[in-house]
Amino acid sequence: MRTITAATRVLALLGDPVEHSLSPVLQNAAFAAAGMDGVYVAVGCEADELVGLMRGIARAGGGGNITLPHKEKAASMLDMASDTVRRTGACNTFWGDERGRLHGDNTDVEGVRRALRGFLGSVKGIRVLLLGAGGAARAALMGLLEEGADEVLIQNRSVERARAVARRIGGERARVVAVPSDLDGESFDLVVNATRLGLSPDDPSPLDFERLSRVGSAVDLVYGRQPTAFVRAAEEFGVRATDGAEMLVQQGAASFELWWDAEAPLEAMRAAVEAARVG
Ligand code: NAP
């Protein structure tokens, strides 16, 4: 049992809701495995409470993560924003420095890059269908392009939001699907779900795979106790698929490295997530 003292650093997940997040399980297992004197808690908060919480925790020597729906607001509050925050307009990790400045990064991008590499080896030169245009989709688009994807088609319920994401991050390699029927008969090396469909066990799959002619692999950024509807639909279509658990571990590992300037204990983190999913 670890001893909590006055020197223990407090790291907090700030968002709404936070009750179902596996980040506390993931990070406390990592702190214990690596011998870090820190404790990770989840704090539900409204948008207008965010700046006070972030500054107060950072000034006390701590930091944390930001989750849905505050990532964009958090990005606008930083004194020192990383290039990834500036490009995506979203912040998921924050910490303070000795001069009291608030730093932020977006480790969802590094998380998705590492998870894609682990699942596929390489995404260089491939054609991708990306579903969604929220914070996770922005991270996925940036990660896919930085890993060398050749072309990314973005489909989202709100087409305008997809256009905004393509303009901000995509450059010439991103295109927007105007209507779902434009996908009929198309082929993709990879399909990525970055919508929130799948968070609830009753959610339908965000994609009817039967519309497409060929899909190489499928990656869901959503994770849950059961296989998500997207993963099930992909596998029924004969496509190799995985959910967002490895991305969760990898974005958490990248955050750990920023807070502690030390290598993250990946195996302990994976084991904690798997145990929480089974239990
Ligand atoms: P967000 O910014 O709120 O975006 C939600 C996305 O889902 C938007 O594209 C939205 O479309 C779409 N959507 C919502 N309801 C829909 C519906 N009924 N039908 C079709 N599309 C719908 O959320 P986010 O931060 O991007 O997160 C998205 C998911 O990724 C969440 O489940 C989150 O848990 C997951 N995630 C996982 C990780 C990980 O580490 N594995 C990291 C980050 C996020 P509109 O634009 O039309 O509203």
Residue among 196, 207, 225, 250 to mutate when testing ligand 1 (max atoms within 8 A of CB): 196
Q: Is 186 exposed, middle or buried (0-12, 13-18, 19+ CB in 10 A)?
A: middle
* pLDDT at site 167: 94
What's the confidence (pLDDT) of residue 278? 80
> What is the pLDDT at residue 148?
97
Report the DSSP beta bridge partners of residue 175.
Answer: 153
What pLDDT is attached to residue 20? 85
- Ligand 1: which atom is nearest the Cα of residue 139? 43
Span(s) in the chain for CATH 3.40.50.10860:
9-105+247-278
Residue 132 Cα to ligand 1 midpoint, Å, equals: 6
Q: Which two tokens stand for residue 256?
A: 């750990």
Distance from C-alpha of 51 to C-alpha of 155, rounded to nearest angstrom: 33
The single residue of 71, 113, 114, 138 carrying the catalytic annotation is: 71
Amino acid at 254: A
Predicted pLDDT at 243: 97
Q: Is 71 a catalytic residue?
A: yes
| Residues whose CB falls within 8 Å of the CB of residue 3, separated by 6 or more in sequence, listed in order | none
CB 154, CB 166: distance < 8 Å: yes
Class at the top of the CATH hierarchy for domain 9-105+247-278: alpha beta
In the chain, CATH 3.40.50.720 covers 109-243
Report pLDDT for 171. 86
| Spans of the chain, pLDDT less than 70 | 1
- DSSP annotation of 227 reads P
CATH for 109-243?
Answer: 3.40.50.720
